[in-house]
Amino acid sequence: MSRIGIAFTGGLAPGDVVECVRLAESLGYESAWVAEGHGGDQFAILAACATATSRIRLGTGISSVFVRSAPTIAMAAATVDHLSNGRFILGLGSSHRVQVEPEHGIAFDQPVQRLRETVDVVRALLRDGTVSHRGRVISIERFDFWFAPLRREIPIYLAALFRPLLETAGEVAQGVLLTWATRDAGARAREAVTAGALRAGRKPDDVDVASLLPCVVASTRAEAFERLRPSVATYAGFFPRYNRLMAESGFPEAAQAIKAAWDRGDRAGAAAAVPEALMDAVAVAGTPAECRARVETYRRAGLALPIISPRVGGPDAKASVLEAIRACAP
């Protein structure tokens, strides 16, 4: 059976996510990933998913290393791993300055180093049950677990878009999580991951390459693109890192136009500036058959684990996610 995952990035109530994950498990999905942002506590949602399922792997996609301390992340990971009987994957990332500082009141400083040190602290706590750490950005006198983790090592995937962090994932992680990826992104990520793995004396094939694939399933391709367009505009307009990604993916003029409209406060203009070619390049959108075919193009191009990420909102959000899960099932 072909590997495929499902990711939830907002628009659903926590109980609706649990229902969707149960359906995904019944249809053969390998894994379910929950983001956080403003959508509810991801570890609590995954704990509920753990008690409602028995086979599907459960991951954070991703957990920010700025808004939780490293020991808190380790405790949460060990808890969900216990409740899921060893099915948990810890997805970590730095998030974005435009979220961390204004939304959480936390300085966004040395994100890559904080990510590395968080991995070190989490691994030590899981392995040894206690940790003391003196790093460049994290300093912990002593922290210990008051329960024994089910597993002394939990897979860690790192969110990465560009080569430096992709190589870091190759050095220290079990997997890498891409997003808004073009068809050739999986092969390019594999090259960078391999370089990092070899530098660290690791086997490159031990590092999984996965990507969240923004997804809209509709009765026509045109309808799917119209529903996807505001999401692309938000990511390209609000997040500098994603704007750069889309520019470097072959759409510099579109990225510039979207950002200009967004900065003027013209959300409709930003959406209108999103060309169909950009949406076709970085997402899975169309009829059920077209979406299944699109996922296959990612697989053939070298992406080991495609993870569909339905972009939904409004009163029909749950129905739209259920439709996407059914449409892209293996």
Domain that holds residue 199: 5-216+289-327
Residue 104 sits in the same domain as residue 166: yes
> Is the predicted pLDDT of residue 43 greater than 80, yes or no?
yes
Residue 144 sits in the same domain as residue 278: no
317 in Cβ contact with 15 (< 8 Å)? no
Q: What is the pLDDT of residues 85-99, one digit of tens each?
A: 999 999 999 999 999
Which pLDDT does position 117 carry in this prediction?
98
Which pLDDT does position 258 carry in this prediction?
98
Which pLDDT does position 10 carry in this prediction?
87
Cα–Cα dist 60/214, whole Å: 16
Residues in the chain: 330
Residue 74 sits in the same domain as residue 53: yes
Which pLDDT does position 37 carry in this prediction?
87
Residue 232 sits in the same domain as residue 299: no
Residue 77 sits in the same domain as residue 153: yes
Residue 254 sits in the same domain as residue 304: no
Which pLDDT does position 281 carry in this prediction?
98
48: domain CATH number?
Answer: 3.20.20.30
Which pLDDT does position 164 carry in this prediction?
94
Q: How many domains does the chain have?
A: 2
Prediction pTM value: 0.97
As a whole number, mean pLDDT of residues 41-50 equals 98
239 in Cβ contact with 263 (< 8 Å)? no
282 in Cβ contact with 318 (< 8 Å)? no
Q: What is the pLDDT of residues 295-324, one digit of tens each?
A: 999 999 999 999 999 998 888 999 999 999
Residue 71 sits in the same domain as residue 120: yes
Local structure of 64: helix, strand or coil: strand
Residue 95 sits in the same domain as residue 243: no
Residue 91 sits in the same domain as residue 158: yes
Which pLDDT does position 133 carry in this prediction?
98
Residue 193 sits in the same domain as residue 270: no
Which pLDDT does position 283 carry in this prediction?
98
> Is the predicted pLDDT of residue 1 greater than 90, yes or no?
no
Q: What is the pLDDT of residues 167-222, one digit of tens each?
A: 999 999 999 999 999 999 999 999 999 999 999 999 999 999 999 999 999 999 99
The DSSP symbol for 234 reads H
Average per-residue pLDDT for the chain: 97
As a whole number, mean pLDDT of residues 144-166 equals 97
Residue 160 sits in the same domain as residue 241: no
Which pLDDT does position 213 carry in this prediction?
98
pLDDT band, very low/low/confident/very high, at 240 (cuts 50, 70, 90)? very high
The dihedrals phi and psi of 64, each to the nearest 5 degrees, come to -75, 135
Cα–Cα dist 312/321, whole Å: 7
**Nearest by Cα to 42 from 59, 29, 67, 54:** 59
Residue 132 sits in the same domain as residue 231: no
